[in-house]
Amino acid sequence: MPKLLTIRDEDFQRARNLASRLGTSLDEAVATALRDLDRNTSAEGGFDPGQQAELAAIRALVAEARPHIVPGALNDHGWLYDWNGLPA
């Protein structure tokens, strides 16, 4: 069953222009654009398997560390360095 979507006039015109350039229907142009946007903005979008493994390892470390964060704690370690940025 078709669903209705309300968009601004300028976005409708943009979709119509896109459909014309792609040589597809308006519906297909919008669906293609949404699929591309979804793929490009997903957490693993565009990563090769090695990069995905690294990202998964980093996320696992963050999840492991999260329960140990003290509320209100700061991560300012400026007191360890002098005015030139060298260790004090």
pTM above 0.75, yes or no: no
Distance between CA atoms of 35 and 18, rounded to whole angstroms? 14
State pLDDT tens for residues 49-83. Answer: 888 899 899 999 999 998 998 888 777 888 888 88
Q: Please give the pLDDT value at position 38.
A: 84
Burial 60-85 (b: 16+ CB within 10 A, else e): eeeeeeeeeeeeeeeeeeeeeeeeee
Q: Please give the pLDDT value at position 43.
A: 64
